Structure 1
Amino acid sequence: MTKAQIDQLLTDMGRHAQEQPRLIETHISWVIAADKHVYKIKKPVHYSFLDFSTLEKRKYYCEQEITLNKRLTENIYIDVLPVSTKSGHYSIGEDEGDIADYAVRMAKVDGNLQMDVLLSNNKVTPENIRKLAEKIANFHKYTTKIYEIDPFELASQFNDLGNEVQFLSTNISAADCAIIEQSIHISDRFIKQNASLLLQRVQNGYIRDCHGDLHTRNIFLLPDPQPFDCIEFNDSFRQIDILNEIAFLCMDLDAADRQDLSDMFVSYYNEISPAMNSIDEQLLFVYYKSYRANVRAKVNSLRAGSTDNEITKKEYLRQTVKYLRLMEHYLRLTA
């Protein structure tokens, strides 16, 4: 669907709603918050790391999103519904009309219970962290082990940030832009120096079919923590080292100036499922945190490049620089 069609869908949904549906846009999706449900429609985009370019692919990845997210959530992900069009109007879940796209239907959960919101209000407790660590550690124990994988693909994923240099070179300082090339060099060296460790972790079953996008905006802190919105669009981003998985959450907590909670999470996690048993593994964990800061920088750069709103663009660029500098900080610790 196009943005104009999404706007028409919002208008049509609003005619039968108690409240006007609210649109939340990301670089790959449109999310519509309605009265009782939330609908997620994938944008018809094709990046180096995902392909939503056809209707068939978007339907497939909607179905994957339901299946994969049900592993860690309860009563949030419901089903996949068609987005139909008839006589110039749009609806979700109707039998009549032509299918314009597909939407993931989810239960509407109070956004104030998202971990990032609670974190900003200083309401994340040690008990929250303990329960979350238990949930993730136990999930990692039983999720599928992945052996047929190239651990060195991580280098190309890290280096994909280089594709943003052309755009960023005219939008941020030269010094901050230079971090990208310098970091790619350090990352390549780290991967080469730790090749045997990376291979060993594959052989020892530490690569699992994980969540893949475990950060504070993707977690509801209900009585039972509910990590949602896992990666469905690229298996290699989800089938990762368990240290890589928890590194994203810990990097996110570090970025929010809550290293105390980050360290607490690792401590609780290790009590249930020891993940760092050597100095080399501890350094690998720090490298994974740099990779996760790299991902955040890339996503914010993509968002900056896709918006026409100058205020929004400046904020995304500010976030890009923040994560570039955090990535650089972590890499220095691995040297």
Structure 2
Amino acid sequence: MTRTTKADDPRTIFEAVCSAMADPTFYPHAVTGVERRDTHISAVFLTGSIVYKLKKPLALGFLDFRRLEDRRTACLREVELNRRLSHDVYREVVPIHRGPDGKISLSPGGRVVEYAVTMRQLPEASNLRTLLETGRAGHECMVEIGLRLARFYDESERSSAVDAYGSPDAVAYNMEENFRQLGPWVDTVLAGWPWPFLCEANRAFLVDHKALFQGRIANGRIRDGHGDLRADHVYFDGGLQIIDCIEFNDRFRYGDAAVDLAFLVMDMAALGHGALGYTLLAAYAAAAADPGVFALIDFYVVYRALVRVKVSCMRLSAADADERAVLLTEIGRYMDLAYRHTLMFARPTLWVCCGLPASGKSSLAARLGEAMGIRVFSSDRVRKTMAPGSGVSPYGKGTYSDQRRNRVYGRLLALAQDELRSGRSVILDATYGRRHWRDGVRQLASDMDAGLIFAECVSPLETLRRRLARRDRSPGLSDARLGHLSRLSAEFEALTDIPQAMRVSVDTDGPRENTVTALLKTAWALRELQIAGRSS
């Protein structure tokens, strides 16, 4: 039996390599200074122009890097995977030798004792976190990232094996793993947070929305993604560069595009730029034709925030007093995010798609309902149900009499109440041109403790006339006609009674596919404001 001496121990060799790499003369190129940075699995050496990244010889359950050959394989995989989202950054994997004289170097000769990934060193000033902190990252940067990620997910691997990681069972496994691994800190570090509520609300969301997760698989949204998509890994240098994806465990990289995006949305919110995170998300959703990403983003933000909480908790035991204070602040910040976004998906929202006839409200309501997986109740359909066989009536008579219209709006409230009472969000699709009808909606939302978003569809009068004229040739569900428009327009009471935090104006004169993502981007920020106001 061969015995391993201390000199041959992988950890001893690794530290000897790191000691050699701390010396600027180790490198065969100009060095402005050597800085070592450590993660839980890597040691990184920055030299000014080139970065050298080593894998630590560790076994951590989710990876095993104790064998040199496994570390080499991981290095090669890192270069291959990260070239998907970067260019002219990842160079090659280089062997590190120990010569017969015991000297460790990059020069050939002797035994290979370690491998390193080499990268072009990107300037810190071009990092997204730095750009955000200095106010130099705005709307254009977010759109560029969103568009690039949409293209990335479209091009990345999809297979039945990858799809399995988007299944409700796989999502539940990852969620419960988080809960279980945070268990040791629940009664101490996390004692001030409503932990049982957070866990049960997330479990309930997964059970109640299985169809959403299964629909994501059917729609091809489960991909081989990045796995660690945070602001620290995004740069603007020679174009957009996204680095440091996870190479050591496919399970952490496979999943819904939403779980990847959620990391960046969460990270930006933690940095105080949540609105820009929604801009990025909307840019992705529009480019990928994936408005449904909004239906799951809060759930996955909670998952990502708890991963960050877990990592910080694990570091507490080895931290000195100063570092411990920093870690506790981080834990509080990410727990606050997890709790807030749990409220975002646990609290139902009453959506009202309103506006003049032919303003596009029914089309918007239908697309919103499909994206979010929630029911839509339309005044046109309720009117037909209450008066079967009725046709087009003159304004003020028949189905357009005040009595009939009040009954229709009352029925819409009853239908919405049933959904909200069951904890489900719901969409109402009607003109809502009178203030007292909107008062009823606001009262219902207040009584049911629901979020409330009025999406007012707006188009020029000429567009409305053109659309209504088409209905004479091709009748649909709505009985509103061109002859009704002048009276309905004159009597339409502006939505000045609706607070800004509950109202979104949606321009429906442009491409139809853009309206729902524009609505969701603004509405998500408003829903977060409503949650904050409720909490305070």
Q: How does the TM-score come out when normalised to structure 1?
A: 0.89
Aligned residue for 1:282? 294
CA distance in 1, matches of 2:238, 2:108: 37
Q: Which moved more, 1:72-81 or 1:311-320?
A: 311-320
Aligned residue for 2:267? 252
Deviations 1:26-65 (A, max 9, x none): 1111110014210111122222433323222211111110
- Residues 310 and 59 (structure 1 numbering): CA distance in 2 closer, same or farther, change over 3 Å? farther
CA distance in 2, matches of 1:40, 1:291: 28
Q: Report how far residue 106 of structure 1 moved.
A: 0.5
- 1:120 maps to 2:138: no
Residue pairs, 1:195-210, within 5 angstroms: 195-210=210-225
- Residues 52 and 154 (structure 1 numbering): CA distance in 2 closer, same or farther, change over 3 Å? farther
Q: Report how far residue 113 of structure 1 moved.
A: 0.6
User: What letter corresponds to residue 78 of structure 1 in structure 2?
Assistant: R
Are the equivalent residues in 1 in contact too, given 2:225–2:257 (CA < 8 A)? yes
Aligned residue for 2:322? 311
User: What letter corresponds to residue 319 of structure 1 in structure 2?
Assistant: E
Structure with greater Cα Rg: 2
Q: How does the TM-score come out when normalised to structure 2?
A: 0.57
CA distance in 2, matches of 1:73, 1:13: 27
Aligned counterpart in structure 1 of residue 104 of structure 2, from 86, 90, 112: 90
User: What letter corresponds to residue 215 of structure 1 in structure 2?
Assistant: R
- Residues 194 and 89 (structure 1 numbering): CA distance in 2 closer, same or farther, change over 3 Å? farther
Query: Higher relative CO (CA 8 A, sep ≥ 6), structure 1 or 2?
Result: 1
Aligned counterpart in structure 2 of residue 158 of structure 1, from 175, 198, 201: 175
Deviations 1:72-126 (A, max 9, x none): 11000011112223444433x3222322221111011111111011111111022
Q: Report how far residue 242 of structure 1 moved.
A: 1.1
Are the equivalent residues in 2 in contact too, given 1:8–1:89 (CA < 8 A)? no
Are the equivalent residues in 2 in contact too, given 1:250–1:289 (CA < 8 A)? yes
SS at match of 1:267: helix
Aligned residue for 1:327? 338
The percent identity for this pair of structures is 27
Q: Report how far residue 9 of structure 1 moved.
A: 2.1
- Aligned-residue Cα RMSD (Å) equals 2.3
CA distance in 1, matches of 2:325, 2:96: 33
Are the equivalent residues in 1 in contact too, given 2:223–2:254 (CA < 8 A)? yes
Are the equivalent residues in 2 in contact too, given 1:146–1:202 (CA < 8 A)? no
SS at match of 1:20: coil
Q: Report how far residue 19 of structure 1 moved.
A: 3.4
Are the equivalent residues in 2 in contact too, given 1:12–1:89 (CA < 8 A)? no
Deviations 1:6-32 (A, max 9, x none): 541234444656433100111111110
Deviations 1:189-243 (A, max 9, x none): 2222222221221122110111121111001123521111111111121111111
Aligned residue for 1:225? 240
Deviations 1:166-189 (A, max 9, x none): 25755x25224x63x543333222
- 1:19 maps to 2:37: no
What are structure 1's unaligned runs of at least 5 residues? none
User: What letter corresponds to residue 322 of structure 2 in structure 1?
Assistant: I
SS at match of 1:71: coil
- 1:264 maps to 2:264: no
Deviations 1:119-166 (A, max 9, x none): 111110222112111111111112122332142222222222332432
CA distance in 2, matches of 1:261, 1:14: 44
Say how many residue pairs are matched: 327
- Residues 90 and 311 (structure 1 numbering): CA distance in 2 closer, same or farther, change over 3 Å? farther
SS at match of 2:45: strand
